[in-house]
Amino acid sequence: MSADNQNVTATKPKQKGKSLPPKLIIWLGKFVWTTLWQLMMSQLAPRGKSGEYLRPSSQFRDSIGIDSPYPPATGRYQLFVGLSCPWAHRTLVVRSLKGLEDAISVAIATPDPIQGGWVLPQQEEGCRSLAELYQLAKSGYQGRCTVPVLWDKQTKAIVNNESAEIIVILNNAFNEFAQHPELELYPEDLREKIDWWNEKIYHAVNNGVYRCGLAQTQAAYLEACNELFATLDEIDAVLANSRYLCGDCVTLADIRLFTTLFRFDIAYYGIFKCNRRRIQDYQHLGSYLRDLYQLPGVADTCDLESVKQDYYGNLFPLNPGGIIPAGPDMSSLLVPHGRENIGKSTASS
């Protein structure tokens, strides 16, 4: 045997044992991941018997008023919000439209993907997280620590943490301090109609996108998805002859819908699998979204990058790789909406 052959023989790697069959590797991987996914989803998203997402109720439900323990005042109250959260976003929009920036301060919390929950970039009331703030307000609190929070700095108390009620408070309770007290987003003569839209939109759209994205069975997902797009189709038809949901003036119903529509093409279409149609593909919903976005001060409350970072970067069970999409291009929101005269010709005829 030549020296070269001896060298080849000496360096020949030892033969390893047989590798696992690809079928077994795939089965094992799916079993482990599915088990972990179900465990994580049970913590992230409470589910019903059919695998549908069940949103827990808010627990702090006080109001602000002359006869309340929390009277109207400027500088006394603070909003704790997350820029990615559609529920918190509602409160920022109403605060901006009413011109309450000088009366009500804002603290911005950010999601902590490692520990879970919301953290504060700087101490607020001696707290570095929303969980600590909730404990300060109610020692031994065991519920979810969510945004938004309407906080009373004087009594160190959470006045309210239900976004639907906070936006009514912001609309009604601080007019003496507002720059735009004449703006009425919940007028008496439209309240029945506004409440009807709010109930419908909450279940099918606001919470509907979460029912799609956090569904844990195919049946639960399809039920939520069908209801979501049936409702969007219905709204689109209404907007053909009405500038806003309740006529020619913006109401709380529009604001509650807006914060979901703003996130739809960015996040819900992709990560929540709400992908039958984009909002910009609708004949009227796309221009309606632009109309609301272009209202004075509203665009300043919208943070595209925070939305993408939170939904794609922090929802590990839905996007384990954490890859954040480069798009979409939202510059189309600045295109003229052309809705100024919708409904006017019908009303005058």
268 counts as catalytic: no
Instruction: Could you list the beta-strand ranges (E) of the chain.
Output: 77-82, 105-111, 118-124, 127-129, 149-152, 157-160
Does residue 127 have an active-site annotation? no
Determine which one of 85, 212, 225, 274 is catalytic: 85
Count of beta carbons in the 10 Å neighbourhood of residue 207: 19
Sign of torsion over alpha carbons 147, 151, 156, 162: negative
What phi and psi values does residue 7 have, to the nearest 5 degrees?
-65, -40
What is the distance in angstroms between the CA of the first residue and the CA of the last residue of the chain?
Answer: 105
The maximal CA–CA distance of the chain, rounded, in angstroms, is 105
Which of 210, 221, 293, 312 is labelled catalytic?
210
Closest residue by Cα to residue 214 from 46, 82, 34, 33: 46
Do 166 and 91 meet the contact criterion of CB atoms below 8 Å apart?
Answer: yes
Residues with Cβ < 8 Å from 82, sequence gap 6 or more?
A: 88, 108, 109, 110, 111, 118, 147, 306, 310
100 three-class SS? coil
Cα–Cα distance between 269 and 318 in angstroms, integer? 13
Residues in the chain: 349
Under 8 Å between Cβ of 259 and 308: no
Decide: 270 and 313 in contact? Cβ < 8 Å: no
In Å, how far are 41, 44, 287 from 318, measured between CA atoms?
Answer: 9, 11, 30
Residues designated as active site: 85, 210
